[in-house]
Chain A
Amino acid sequence: MADTSVNRPSFIALSRRPWFWAWVASAAAYGATLLLIDGGGGIDLIQAALTFAAFSAIVGIGQMFVITLGPGNVDLSIPATMTLAATLSLKFMGGSAGLILPGLVVAVGVGFSAGVANYLLIRMLRIPPIIATLSASFLYQSLAIWSNRGLRIKPPQALSDFTTGTLLGVPNVALVGLAVALAAWVLLERSTFGRWISAFGQNERAARLSGVPVEMVRALTFIGSAVLAGFTGYLLASFSGGAALNMGTEYLLISIAVVVIGGCSIAGGYSNVPGIWGGALFMFLIVSMLNSYGLGAGFRLMITGAIIIGIVAAASGRDPQ
């Protein structure tokens, strides 16, 4: 008796967390997949899930900050920025192990430049972010095509080993993704900047009148999203053995889906970091579950869509207070 009276309130408190349903859904998808595969596959599945979810989580965190800014704020240039950063940085490194860190600087620099360009389009030309980032993404993608010319340049072996390797059984990229998430959590929940982003998303005018430097907040948020996209492109290309022109495509939908599944408000002002990881794991696990049940691609997409709708409905059905 005493035991339940202690546990129940904390469970209720937990279930009211916005990220709760993303994690429940991930666990359910994991369990359902395990039913079909042998005992040894469980660990492999977790490792694969952590690895692929890490890529989604890193771009998702960038997208989350942008979406927190409120309606109309979304970064559609993430896929193209990933591709461009991956292409240029791998070309720069040319497979040489000595250039791994400078290559990272190139990737992050490409992301930074893309972020600045996005922001300038929004600020100077007063184009809505959704249009500005979409049109800019065509530019970035063209640059990537132009510089790539259909060649697939291999990453340095040491970098490739790092991105595919594990530490104590945990994939290295997952550790990187967790570190990014931790930093993002501190930024969102504990820092002045996080408060400013949330204030911006709730009421930009009121934030401005309360002394929040709104233009700086907007600039840093879009730059941050593009930097994370560039960084993810670098990691993903190294992981998959080279940059491909279509490598970013699926991350357009995923980066937005993980934000929504993670329980962040699409109307802005209200976000959380644990939900991004929960959503990222879910997006991988649901596909592997449907694969292991041997369903065709069309059916798989349909089920994925239906489940996302279900989670979002469940999450928004709960009382926000």
Chain B
Amino acid sequence: MHFGAVRALDGVSLTIRPGECVGLIGHNGAGKSTAVNVINGGLTPTAGTVTYRTTGTGAASARAAGIRSVFQELSLCPNLTVEENLRIPQRDLTGPGWRRRARQRIADALDTVFPGHRLQPRMTVGDLTLAERQMVEIAIGFAEGAVPARLVILDEPTSSLDASIARQLLDHVRDFCNRGGAVIFISHMLGEVFDVATRIDVMKDGRITDSRPRNEFTQQGLIDAMGHVATAPAEARKETSAAERIGDEVLRTDEGLTARRGEIVGLSGLAGHGQAEALARFFLSRSKGRRHARHPEVVFVAGDRGRDGIMPLWSILRNATLTTLPALSRRGIVDREAEDRLGADWKKRIGIRTDNMNNPILSLSGGNQQKVLFARSLASTAPIVVMDDPMRGVDVGTKREAYEMIRAEAAKGRTFLWYSTETEEVCQCDRVFVFRNGRISAELTGDEIDEQHILAASFEMKEPAE
């Protein structure tokens, strides 16, 4: 399987039996999403075959074989309700009363996978948070239908879910496999893969390089197998440099969010408790007017790429230079040589996997698109960088590179406001604000920044019993 000059898959052989949960891991652009799209019939392989328990090939027979996909790039229609979105894959929902049946199916699926959820089938998807949309998408994958789900492919299903919801999903996956279903579980969170998979397949450069039952792997072994050299924990370096790096206070918001020059400030708590809104409000209040375009005070790294970041019609290069454009132009005309140089520089610096920066942005894998958004913001001169869960769907190796880059930029005096749904990322920060119900419930510094303290501040202790 190849796209243009890039060979995305090269001799992949994968067999999935009922009751199996295959963890598929690999760094960005290793070919995981492409492999999934070949399995579900979305892409036709240029060589080789895919066999289902039904006869035939292509998307229709994949559907008839009970193969469902839950994508990394959310594929719900935002203008439709939850129940209407179920109708899109389930074509048997026709005739009078289809809404009632759709409502029943999706409500059952949500209740089964995410007990205690607060979603209603009549809610419009566009009004839901990212995490809720992801829950709906997962529930659609497991929902009852004309053909029962036999193989559910989950591509980064937990990337925007907080820990407790993710746990519900993992429990359900285990249960589903025990009842004879099969799951392909793609995740960059190795802990989850270890938790749920019965077998782990490692992909690298379009091949499966390793395939073993889970208990024959160790976490470190997995990271090595993926081909990124694991560096020692960077905690020590952080501690030594923080004191001299951090300067005067540069921002203070109404919520009580503060940050100093050179500081990496984390925003944490359960997903959807007002962190993203606080960041957006802060960004919008500090980025008005024409002067801002040339000398931005604050830049934004989007995590919801489709909604907040990507310009889908443009090339990689144009996407990367959007924020720095005024600095790259003279008398309003873009200096295209300077633009090319900037693009080439950042392609090298953060390793965007493409043979030509003029390729369309959508030719890149999700993680590589995210790198482009990083480049867009970091290439500017803005002293404050706001990041809205920017590591969604980014592999372990790239994450470590990004941590290094963020720390290096902070050392140069930049301030980072970093919202993340992952504790590991939050632990990279110098100071952490935990949000609950739209307000800051705790401010953690130094040794207090760990999973226990964050969880404690995320949950109200006197929660009414449900």
Contact = CB atoms under 8 A, between A and B. Distances in A.
Interface of A: 186, 190-193, 195-196, 198-199, 202-203, 205-213, 216, 269-270, 321
A211 B299 contact: yes
Given A211-B292, A211-B293, A211-B380, A270 B309 contact: no
B415 interface: no
Nearest to B289: A213
A192 B326 contact: yes
Nearest to A202: B311
B124 to A, nearest CB: 17
B422 to A, nearest CB: 22
A209 B310 contact: no
B357 to A, nearest CB: 16
B292 A210 contact: no
A191 B333 contact: yes
Nearest to A187: B332
B292 A202 contact: no
Interface of B: 280, 283-284, 287-290, 292-293, 296, 299-300, 302, 307-314, 318, 322-323, 325-326, 329, 332-334, 360, 376-377, 380
A193 B332 contact: yes
Contacts of B290: 213, 216
B325 A205 contact: no
Given A211-B287, A211-B299, A211-B380, A198 B314 contact: yes
24 contacts: A192-B325, A192-B329, A192-B333, A193-B332, A195-B318, A195-B325, A198-B313, A199-B314, A199-B322, A202-B312, A203-B312, A206-B311, A207-B311, A208-B284, A209-B280, A209-B283, A209-B308, A210-B299, A210-B377, A211-B322, A213-B292, A213-B293, A216-B290, A269-B311
Sorted nearest first, the 7 A-B pairs with minimum C-beta distance are: A209-B300, A202-B311, A210-B322, A192-B329, A211-B323, A191-B332, A192-B325
A199 B324 CA distance: 13
A34 B368 CA distance: 55
B380 A192 contact: no
Contact of B311 (A190, A199, A216, A321): A199
A200 B171 CA distance: 43
Nearest to A195: B325
Contacts of B292: 211, 213
Interface SS of B by simple majority: mixed
Given A195-B318, A202-B313, A211 B296 contact: yes
A269 B380 contact: no
A195 B334 contact: yes
Contacts of A199: 311, 314, 322
Contacts of A209: 280, 283, 300, 302, 308-309
Given A209-B300, A210-B322, A211-B287, A191 B329 contact: yes
B322 A195 contact: yes
Given A192-B332, A195-B334, A270-B313, 11 more contacts: A191-B332, A192-B329, A192-B333, A202-B311, A202-B312, A205-B307, A206-B311, A209-B300, A210-B377, A213-B293, A269-B313
A186 to B, nearest CB: 7
Most buried by A among B284, B307, B322, B326: B322
Contacts of B284: 208
Contacts of B288: 213
Most buried by A among B289, B292, B311, B332: B311
Contacts of A195: 318, 322, 325, 334
Contacts of A191: 329, 332-334
A142 B283 CA distance: 43
Contacts of A210: 299-300, 309, 322-323, 376-377
Most buried by B among A193, A206, A213: A206
A203 B310 contact: yes
Contacts of B360: 321
A206 B308 contact: yes
B279 to A, nearest CB: 10
B284 to A, nearest CB: 7
A209 B281 CA distance: 11
A223 B314 CA distance: 26
A22 B313 CA distance: 22
Contacts of B380: 211
Nearest to B373: A210
A209 B373 CA distance: 11
Contacts of A207: 311, 322
Contacts of B325: 192, 195-196
A17 to B, nearest CB: 15
A168 to B, nearest CB: 30
A159 to B, nearest CB: 32
B311 A192 contact: no
A212 B323 CA distance: 7
B169 to A, nearest CB: 28
